[in-house]
Structure 1
Amino acid sequence: MKPNSSEKRNQNLLWKIHHWAGLYTGIIIGILCFTGAVAVFIPEIDLMIQKHYYSVSSSPYTIPKIDRALAQAKKDYPKMSGLIIDMPDKPGQVATFSFAVKGKDKASSKFHFLFVDAGKDEIVGSRDRQNSLANYLRQMHVRLYEGFWGRQLVGLAGIAFIVLTLTGLLIYGDFMKKQPYPKIRKKNTRILMADWHKILGISALAFNFVIACTGAWLGLLPKFMSWFGVKSPDHFQAPIFMDKKEDAGMVVHWDEVFKAVKQHFPELKPGYMRASEDGSATIEVHGSIEAQIYERNINALVLSKKSYQPLHKFEVAKAAFADKLYAVQEALHFGDFGGLGLKILYAVLGLTSGFLSVSGFVVYLYRTDKKKKRTISPLKTTFIYTVLILLVLIVIALISMFIGYRHAAFVAAIIVDGTLAGFIIYAIVRAILRKLKTRSATASL
C-alpha cells in the first residue's frame, strides 16, 4: 500500500527534522559519545594512575585513621581552606585531602591534592588534581572544557539527541518492517553505511534515549535550578552560631566521626567529608549505599563538631519521588551502579552511538555529492574531519595534563566559542544572501 499525501508529508517532515538535528549537532554528539565511552571508566583509570604512576596505596585497616596526616597537612599548609576528605572505595586504595591555599588574589591561589595512607595515618604523595587525566575526561564530557557556554551546549546536544532518537524510531521503524534484521545491503557505500546507521540506531535505541534524556538534564541542570527553582534533594542548612575563625580552628577527631557514622547510619559508605568553616560547627559526611541506583555520595549525615551527635540525616531511598528522580540521573548516564561489566556495555554502546554521527555524516555527503560536485570523496572527507577532531581532543588533553588546566580551558574556549560565533555569522550571512537573491529574482520578472 502506497502512503497517501498526508503520510508522505509527515515522513518528509520527520526526515528534515532528523537531517538538520543530526547535521548541526552531530559533531558535538559524536565527541560526547566518544569521551563518554571513556569517561565511564574514570574511577578505574584514576586508580590505575595512582597505583602505577604515583606508586601510592594504603595499608589494611578496620577503622581509617587520618588525624595525624591531617595535622601534618595543616602544619605544612597553615592557610588551607575548603578541605574535602575523600575516602577510598576499596581496601588498598588511598584517601585524599583536597584544599585551596589562598593567595593575594584568585590567580595566585593554589589547589592541593594529597594522598593519604589511612592505615598508617600518613601522607604518602601529592599531585595536581586539575591537571589530571580524570579531570580532563570529565570536563570535556560535561562542558567541552569551556566554562561559559560549554555545559549549555552539551545540554542542547542532549535535547537534539532525543529528537534524533525519536525521529529515527519513527523513520526507521517502517524500514525495519520491510528489511529483515540485521540484514546489511552491500549495493554501494552509501547504502552500506545507511543500513549500518539504521540497524545500529535501532539496536541502541533504548540506550540512546536514556543517555540523551539524562545528558540533557545534567547539561542544563544549573539553568533549570536557576529558572524553575529546582533544588538538590538534600539542601539542609545548619544555623550559624559562632565566629568563622573559631569554627575553622576547632579540632575534629575523625576516628570519632567514623564511629558516629557507623552507629547512626551504618548502611552509609563514606565518600567524602568536610568540616564547616562558616560558624555552624558541623561535619558533613556524604556517601553511598550498596545496591542502589543513585549518584555517588548523594546520601548524607551531618554531625555536631562538639558532640559528634547527628544533626541531620538524608537517605535518598526514603525521599520524595522528585528527589529520587533527580538523584538517579548521573548514575544512569555513566552506568555507575552495576559494576565493571555494565560499564563495558555502556562503553560499547557509547561508541556505537558515536558511530551513528560518523555514518550519518557519510550518508549525508553521499546524498549531496552530485549536487555539490565535491572533489574529495565522502569517506575521505569524513576521515579528515574525524582525525582533526581527535587531534584537537588529544592536544587539549596534553595541554591540560602537562601545561595546565587554565591554558587548556582557554584553548577550548577559543575553539568552542569561535566555532559557535562562526556558525551564527555564517547562518546570518547565508539568510541575507538568500533574501537578496529572492528579491533580485522577483525584480527581474
Structure 2
Amino acid sequence: MKPINKHKKDHKLLWKIHHWSGLYAGIVIGILCFTGAVAVFIPEIDGLIQSRYYSVHAATPAPGQLFKIDQALAEAKKQYPKMSGLLIDMPDKPGRVATFSFAVKGKDKASSKSYFLFVDPVKDQILGSWDRQNSLANYLRQMHVRLYEGFWGRQLVGLAGVAFIVVTVTGFLIYGQFMKKQTYPKVRRKGMRILMGDWHKILGISALAFNFVIACTGAWLGLQPKLMQWFDIKAPNDHDFPKLMKPKADAATLVHWDQVFLVLRKEFPDLKPGYLRASEDGTSTIEVHGSIDGQIYEKNINALVLAKTSYKPLFKCDVRTMSFSQRFYSVQEALHFGDYGGLGLKIVYTVLGLTSAFLSISGFVVYLYRTDKKQQRRMSPWKTTFVYCLLILIVLVVIALISMFIGYRQASAVAAWLVNGSLFGYIIYVIVVAILKKRNSNTKSIGI
C-alpha cells in the first residue's frame, strides 16, 4: 500500500505544480504564444508595409553585383550632419530595400530624434523615410520580447518561459499516463469540463516537443542579459579592440563601403550581410554582421571586423568553426522564431503557437469548472474566461494603436504602468491572502 500512496502523493504534487504554474503564469504565456505566432512573420510584415504603405522598391541586383551605398550615405549626412550611431541594415532578399538607422542628438534626451531612411542598395539612392519604432512589426517584437516594458518586462518573459517549462514537463508526466488509457485523439462529450479537459490534454501532448523547445529557448532569451552578466558569458561574436584615436576623429573618418563589400567578398564570401556599423568610440573599426545560407543559427551571428583605415580583417566569427557550446548558444533564437526553414516552417510555428495560446485558455476553463461549486461564482466559467480574454485583447489592441498612431514612448509608458501595476498588485494580493489564511488558522486553533 505504501508505494500506491506514494504514487498518489507524487501525482497530487505534480498536479499542484502544474496547476499553480499554469494559473499564475498562464496569462503571460498566452500573450507570448499569441504574439509569437504572429511575430514569426515580422520580416514579411516589414516587407509588406514598406512596399504597400511606403511604396518603396529596390532594383534587383545582377548576379554577382555588389551593393552600393556610398552616395546614399553621403546624401544622408548632408541632410543630417549631426547623425550618430549609424546602423545600416541590408536587404535579406533581392528587390528589398536597405535602411539607414541613426539618431540626431538634441540638447536633452527628449529633444533627440531617431531617423530611418529607405535606401536602394543597387541604384545607391535614398527612397524615403519611415518611422520604424511606431510600426506594427516593432510592436509585435517589443510586446513578445519584453511586454513593451523596458525594466521588468524581459525578466518577466524569461520567468514565464521557466513556468512554461514546468507546465510542459509536469503536464507530460500527469497526462502521459492518462493518455495511455484513452484512445488518441478521443474527445469525450460528457459535459464542458470533460470536453475542454480532453482537448487540453490532446493538444498539450500533440504540441509537447514544440512547447518544450519554445519554453526553453524563450526562458534563455528572456533572462539572457542577466544570466550573461551574472555568469560572465560572452557571445561568440563578441570582440574588444583598443582605442586608437579620439571618438570625434573616429566618427569623422570616412568609410568607403564599396571597398568594404569587396573585402567581404574576398575574406568571407559565404557571408550574407545583415547589418553594418562603423565605430564611433575610437577603435577605428567596421563591423559586418550576417548569416550563412542553409544554417540553423541566429541571424547575424557571423561577423567580420575590418580596420577602418586599411580595411584589413581584424576579427572573424564563422559559425561553422565554432565550438559546440558556441553553436548551442547561437541556435537558440533560430529555434525560437523558426526563421530558418522558409515560409512553410513559419506557418507550422504559427499553428503550434496558437495551439499553445489555446492551452492557456482551456486550462483556465478547466480550473474554473473544477472550482465552480466551491467558489459559487456569479458568472459561469465561460463568461469569466470571455471577460478575461476580452480585457487582455483590448489592452493589446490599445497599446498597439498608441504605439502606431501616437508614439512608441507613450505606448511603452502605458505598458510599464500596466505591467508594474499588475506585478505590484499581485504581490500585495499574495501577502494579504497569506495573512488572512494565517489569521483564520490561528482563530480555529484557539477555538474562537
Q: How high is the TM-score relative to the length of structure 2?
A: 0.98
Q: Could you tell me which runs of 5 or more consecutive residues in structure 2 were left unpaired when the two chains were aligned.
A: none
Q: Distance in 1 between the 2:279 and 2:424 partners?
A: 43
Q: Distance in 2 between the 1:108 and 1:386 partners?
A: 38
Report the counterpart of residue 200 of structure 2 in structure 1.
197
2:160 aligned partner, one-letter code? A
2:257 aligned partner, one-letter code? W
| 1:428-443 paired onto structure 2 within 5 Å | 428-443=431-446
Q: CA deviation at 1:60?
A: 2.5
Report the counterpart of residue 130 of structure 1 in structure 2.
133
Report the counterpart of residue 218 of structure 1 in structure 2.
221
Q: Distance in 2 between the 1:342 and 1:246 partners?
A: 47
Q: Distance in 2 between the 1:137 and 1:281 partners?
A: 35
2:42 corresponds to 1:39: no
1:270 aligned partner, one-letter code? P
Where 2:110 maps in the other structure, the secondary structure is helix
Q: How high is the TM-score relative to the length of structure 1?
A: 0.98
Q: CA deviation at 1:330?
A: 0.4
Q: Distance in 2 between the 1:53 and 1:150 partners?
A: 31
Q: CA deviation at 1:317?
A: 2.1
Q: Distance in 2 between the 1:253 and 1:238 partners?
A: 21
Report the counterpart of residue 262 of structure 1 in structure 2.
265
2:390 corresponds to 1:380: no
Q: Distance in 1 between the 2:431 and 2:224 partners?
A: 30
| 1:254-403 paired onto structure 2 within 5 Å | 254-403=257-406
Q: CA deviation at 1:77?
A: 0.4
2:78 corresponds to 1:68: no
Where 1:106 maps in the other structure, the secondary structure is coil
Report the counterpart of residue 108 of structure 1 in structure 2.
111
TM-aligned CA distance change 1:276 to 1:183, over 3 Å? same
Where 1:99 maps in the other structure, the secondary structure is strand
Q: Distance in 1 between the 2:437 and 2:306 partners?
A: 66
2:8 corresponds to 1:8: yes
Q: What do the CA deviations read for 1:67-121 (whole angstroms, capped 9, x no partner)?
A: 1110010010000001011100111100100001011111111110000011221
Where 2:200 maps in the other structure, the secondary structure is helix
Q: Distance in 1 between the 2:233 and 2:418 partners?
A: 32
2:177 corresponds to 1:182: no
1:210 aligned partner, one-letter code? V
Q: Distance in 2 between the 1:2 and 1:376 partners?
A: 42
2:430 to 421, 427, 430: 427
2:248 to 215, 238, 245: 245
2:239 to 236, 239, 243: 236
Q: CA deviation at 1:277?
A: 1.1
Where 1:84 maps in the other structure, the secondary structure is strand
1:36 aligned partner, one-letter code? G
Q: Distance in 1 between the 2:2 and 2:344 partners?
A: 46
Q: Distance in 2 between the 1:225 and 1:108 partners?
A: 33
Q: What do the CA deviations read for 1:234-288 (whole angstroms, capped 9, x no partner)?
A: 2211221112222111111111111110000000000000111112221100000
Report the counterpart of residue 58 of structure 1 in structure 2.
58
2:446 aligned partner, one-letter code? A
Q: What do the CA deviations read for 1:151-204 (whole angstroms, capped 9, x no partner)?
A: 111000000000000000100011111000000001111100000000000000
Q: Distance in 1 between the 2:87 and 2:114 partners?
A: 11
Question: After the TM superposition, which segments of 4 or more aligned residues of structure 1 sit over 6 Å from their partners?
Answer: none
Q: What do the CA deviations read for 1:400-431 (whole angstroms, capped 9, x no partner)?
A: 01100110011101111111111110110111
| 1:88-103 paired onto structure 2 within 5 Å | 88-103=91-106
Q: CA deviation at 1:2?
A: 12
Q: CA deviation at 1:3?
A: 7.5
Q: Distance in 1 between the 2:40 and 2:299 partners?
A: 13
Q: Distance in 1 between the 2:39 and 2:304 partners?
A: 29
2:108 aligned partner, one-letter code? D
Q: CA deviation at 1:387?
A: 1.2
| 1:17-28 paired onto structure 2 within 5 Å | 17-28=17-28
TM-aligned CA distance change 1:182 to 1:2, over 3 Å? farther
Q: What do the CA deviations read for 1:40-90 (whole angstroms, capped 9, x no partner)?
A: 000001100000000001113321111111001001000000101110011
1:66 aligned partner, one-letter code? I
